[in-house]
Structure 1
Amino acid sequence: MPHPASPDPHDATRRAPGLPLAPTRARAAGRGQRSVLLAVRSAVTLHRLLDVLPVFDGDDRVRVRFTLVPGSRFDVDALTALDRTGARTIPWRDACHTRHDLVLTASPKGDLHLLPGPRALLPHGAGFGKALSGEGSADVPSGLDPVHLLADGEPWADLHALAHEEQALRLARHCPEAGPAVVVGDPTADRLLRSLPHREEYRTALGTGPRQLVVLTSTWGPESLIARRPRFPAELVALLPHDAFQVALVLHPNDHSRTGGFDLARWMGPALRAGLVLARPHEEWAALLVAADAVVTDHGSTGLYAAALGRPVVGAHDGGRELVPDSPMARLLARAPHLAAAHDLPTALDAARRTDLREPVAHAFAHQGRALTLLRGHLYRLLGLGRPSGPVAAPAFPAPTTTPERPTVFAVRATVSGDRVTVHRFPPDTREPVHHLAAEHPAAGPGPLQSAAVLWQHARTRPAPAHHTAWTASGWTASVLEEMPGCRTAAAVLSRGQVLLRHRDAGLLSVTTEPHRGQGRVHHVDPTAVISAVHAWLAGGPPPRSPRTLLCDTGPVPVPVHLAPAGEKELDYEL
């Protein structure tokens, strides 16, 4: 391997006719400094390179610049993502005329051989599990194809930094002419492991609470889960009770780029309004895996990362001809239970919790927790610098910033057994048998407001303006029952645990909910679910003449609900 200061046997004078015979060296700010160029082809490769950059943290001898490799259908989002980082960029033509001390990239595609300087190539996924038709050699894993790894029959990468010894063997088998390969582990997998202590923080940001978080992951292309089963996220949201499950969708960044945020929000609008979480393409996907209770995946490498975290994994599509036989992802999907229909998810989750996926994970990620340390040594050798003496650690992922929409309409199935009420809430278009419709006033809109047996309104959370008029809780509930003849119960949510409820037959009641306490935790349930439980209980008999305690079961935890005559404080509470 040539020293960075030595003539490069693969320099641009031989490989790129028309370029200067002596490419300009990138200017360094001082003696001993080095320039690193990150060659970015798409948003996903940018994200992978950003996971690697901590190897240079704290070293003012290293200057980092980015360039966009032309030719990708997904380069628009790469430019947008680059702009968000505040990184300094170099036009591709200038990058081809400038020699850097290190060129770092995470995709072998494009004219990377035109970039002067020693080049290091990393994978941009896990396990080399996909072979893409129409891109290079048939049935050769993407990332290991000689069509992309060789230029004029010679390797253009001076170093392949791989995640596992098996990958090095596969590289040698598919492209024996490729340059040197070293096994350093996977920096992104290490970031995931580093983020595990933040699990509760992520779940709080998502509003998961005691519910089970089921994350769907879809790669890109015609064999992806979302391409083969586009209605699948909406089917799960309509099937799983809202108070027992939260559903999130992780799409490949290429799908975000190809479709665009506007169309994604439009296509998935009903599911999003029912509470589906759509992860942002950078970093948020990883926080969701850490927060998840289970993952449903196709043949994309996100499923391997989920298994590395110990999450139960269910396969929903095997990728057809894109799945590389005997790859870690193929072995994972062969072991994981398969989900043929959305209604089979509870059974599949039970099977997934009993399935051991350590073998495919062990063949995908080596040197766990040490990837950046090992990679730092190899990259600093290419730079011709002594590596910094301090430790390098993978940073945890930030908490999710996507806030799921709060549903405004529910179809409610309620079962009353004495003083215990079990409530399951679904989107209004569910095919599940239901007891009544419940809606938020006025956000639900005219149709649901006219049809709902239960209407609720939340008390104001923002400061009131200087001049304003407000309903009292008593006044608003009376007004709603007068205006909406189909409504049987109107309720004002005064706080997380306090509701004023007016029923046509039972009159005014104060409803107080206790949180569930156990194993050192306090779990709060949605008060609007409690309203539906009280409504169903009141429908079964005469109104209570004295304080009464119900047990409301919304799925994860049962909570005591106290009914009592309404007091002046609740009646006069300003909404």
Structure 2
Amino acid sequence: MPREHRDPGQWATLTGRKKVLVVIHTEVYGQRLRDLLPLVAADLRIQVAFTIAPHAFNSGAVRSLPSHGSTVIPWEEAVRSEFDLAVAAGSQGMEQVRAPLIRMPHGIGHMKLSRTADAPEGTPRTVGGLGRTYLMRDGRVVPKSLALAHHDDLAELARSCPEALPAAEVVGDASHDRITVSLPLRERYRRAMGLRPGQRLLLVSSTWGTGSSFNRLDALLPRLLTELPPEEYRIALLVHPNVWSGHGHWQMYAWLEAFRQRGIAVVPPEADWRAALIAADWLIGDHGSVTLYATLTRARILLARFPEADVNPRSPGAELAGAAPALSPAHPLTEQLAYAAAEYPAAEYARIAARISSVPGEFNQRMRALLYRVLGLGQPAFAPVTRPLPPPAPLGLAPEAGPWGSGGTEIPA
């Protein structure tokens, strides 16, 4: 549980530390920022604190805090205090923070276009996270540094907010690097999830919003249960944390309980999904980040939804939509899974995967250099290590820790 904030000025044992504020807007943003923490964790010159920023989906943000206890400062206090550095994956309220800001992407490939409501009247939609609405306030660029994953992002930035180009720096993608370094552990992950020899894992992934797979899950999940033999296939459902935050945990489990009782494992939103993706034989996805990360793995991809009007046409996600087979409502699923496996366009997927990061394997080195440069400190005298992902929880086990207690069908009052 997070530790309540206390002013350390009177009681601190180590004084004169550089103060870093990690600003978490949503659970997803917090998960992205957690990959930064090992880069400064052992440095006695640095003190890290956390705050939860205002956001429509911040109800689950606290779950992305480090589980062993964190100094959490109320937002109202955080914006009144001075820090040597702030890091965030979102933009809302960041102009209020009194610190040099490093802004991270909160997803992959800058695939999604901004919401229609966020575009000023008469102007086209920009790429989410890269438009002036996200990066500028009162005529100035808010981030001191804008960390990007790929050189293609610089071209997008030049289109949507050229004022921020001097602040932009390509550092790579942490999830790309952790997935690729973990690929040799695939069989270990499959054993940890409880898959039997010869059993195949189908991962269903959904982003949030009306164009997502979840919006039509009531048609897809019954098909999976009806058409796929349970002794041969395990099915796991991975839903974007914004859906859990927007509808509430109780409601999500209530909607999914009947499917869970019939054998579909629900990956809880706080779980690290990346090891499960590595373990998967197939991924049925949409225009979310997980689908694009699947190009790094052995998972065969089928697209259940792809709302073209909401996707940046120059993004690797749009390119993936032109290569991956689309799920058909009229043909047996076993035939479609076999087709996706037989027609797996490995060369195309490798080319698309190369658009995730311009500097594969270099995120930790580049990001640490950026953090310490902004802090005005020399880096520690050892190279940062990209560590493999921890094993995932057994399928069907983690959801039992949710609101159902012993996992019965009765919904608690």
What TM-score results when the alignment is normalised by the length of structure 2? 0.86
Task: Give 1:34-53 correspondences, 5 Å limit.
Answer: 34-53=18-37
Structure 1 residue 329, shift from structure 2 partner: 0.3
Task: Give 1:36-435 correspondences, 5 Å limit.
Answer: 36-70=20-54, 72-82=55-65, 84-108=67-91, 110-137=92-119, 138-178=124-164, 179-209=166-196, 210-341=198-329, 343-344=332-333, 345-355=336-346, 356-404=348-396
Distance (whole Å) between structure 1 residues aligned to residue 288 and residue 395 of structure 2: 25
Cα 1:196/1:283, change in 2 over 3 Å: farther
Q: Which residue identity lines up with residue 343 of structure 1 in the other structure?
A: P
Cα 1:295/1:117, change in 2 over 3 Å: same
Structure 1 residue 195, shift from structure 2 partner: 2.2
Could you say what secondary structure the match of 2:302 adopts? strand
Moved more, 44-53 or 189-198: 189-198
Check the 8 A contact 2:206/2:212 in 1, yes or no.
yes
Could you say what secondary structure the match of 1:379 adopts? helix
Structure 1 residue 279, shift from structure 2 partner: 1.0
Give the aligned length: 382
Cα 1:26/1:141, change in 2 over 3 Å: farther
Distance (whole Å) between structure 2 residues aligned to residue 352 and residue 89 of structure 1: 49
Check the 8 A contact 1:284/1:399 in 2, yes or no.
no
Cα 1:369/1:142, change in 2 over 3 Å: same
Distance (whole Å) between structure 1 residues aligned to residue 386 and residue 60 of structure 2: 25
Q: Which residue identity lines up with residue 154 of structure 1 in the other structure?
A: R
Structure 1 residue 323, shift from structure 2 partner: 1.4
- Structure of higher CA gyration radius: 1
Give the alignment's Cα RMSD to 1 decimal.
2.4
Check the 8 A contact 2:323/2:345 in 1, yes or no.
no
Distance (whole Å) between structure 2 residues aligned to residue 381 and residue 83 of structure 1: 25
Check the 8 A contact 2:176/2:356 in 1, yes or no.
no
Q: Deviations along 1:135-171, whole A, 9 cap, x unmatched?
A: 4224211111211210001100010111100012211
Check the 8 A contact 2:24/2:30 in 1, yes or no.
yes
Distance (whole Å) between structure 2 residues aligned to residue 337 and residue 351 of structure 1: 11
Distance (whole Å) between structure 2 residues aligned to residue 352 and residue 388 of structure 1: 47
Q: Name the structure 1 match of 2:4.
A: none
Structure 1 residue 243, shift from structure 2 partner: 1.4
Distance (whole Å) between structure 1 residues aligned to residue 326 and residue 136 of structure 2: 38
Distance (whole Å) between structure 2 residues aligned to residue 343 and residue 215 of structure 1: 18
Could you say what secondary structure the match of 2:47 adopts? strand
Structure 1 residue 274, shift from structure 2 partner: 2.1
Q: Deviations along 1:479-500, whole A, 9 cap, x unmatched?
A: xxxxxxxxxxxxxxxxxxxxxx
Cα 1:32/1:377, change in 2 over 3 Å: farther
Check the 8 A contact 1:26/1:35 in 2, yes or no.
no
Distance (whole Å) between structure 2 residues aligned to residue 64 and residue 55 of structure 1: 12
Moved over 4 A (4+): 25-32
Distance (whole Å) between structure 1 residues aligned to residue 253 and residue 80 of structure 2: 42
Distance (whole Å) between structure 1 residues aligned to residue 359 and residue 286 of structure 2: 26
Q: Percent identity?
A: 32
Structure 1 residue 260, shift from structure 2 partner: 2.8
Could you say what secondary structure the match of 2:78 adopts? helix
Q: Deviations along 1:359-400, whole A, 9 cap, x unmatched?
A: 221122222111011110011000000011112123322222
Could you say what secondary structure the match of 1:287 adopts? helix
Moved more, 166-175 or 268-277: 268-277
Cα 1:348/1:104, change in 2 over 3 Å: same
Distance (whole Å) between structure 2 residues aligned to residue 309 and residue 154 of structure 1: 41
Which ranges in structure 2 are unaligned for 5 or more consecutive residues?
A: 1-6, 398-406
Q: Name the structure 2 match of 1:427.
A: none
Could you say what secondary structure the match of 1:230 adopts? helix
Distance (whole Å) between structure 2 residues aligned to residue 85 and residue 30 of structure 1: 20
Could you say what secondary structure the match of 1:284 adopts? coil
Moved more, 388-397 or 78-87: 78-87
Which ranges in structure 1 are unaligned for 5 or more consecutive residues?
A: 1-24, 406-442, 446-575
Give the structure with the larger helix fraction: 2
Q: Which residue identity lines up with residue 156 of structure 1 in the other structure?
A: V
Cα 1:401/1:350, change in 2 over 3 Å: closer
Structure 1 residue 190, shift from structure 2 partner: 1.2
Q: Deviations along 1:517-552, whole A, 9 cap, x unmatched?
A: xxxxxxxxxxxxxxxxxxxxxxxxxxxxxxxxxxxx
Q: Which residue identity lines up with residue 90 of structure 1 in the other structure?
A: I
Check the 8 A contact 1:278/1:402 in 2, yes or no.
no
Check the 8 A contact 2:236/2:395 in 1, yes or no.
no
Distance (whole Å) between structure 1 residues aligned to residue 232 and residue 251 of structure 2: 29
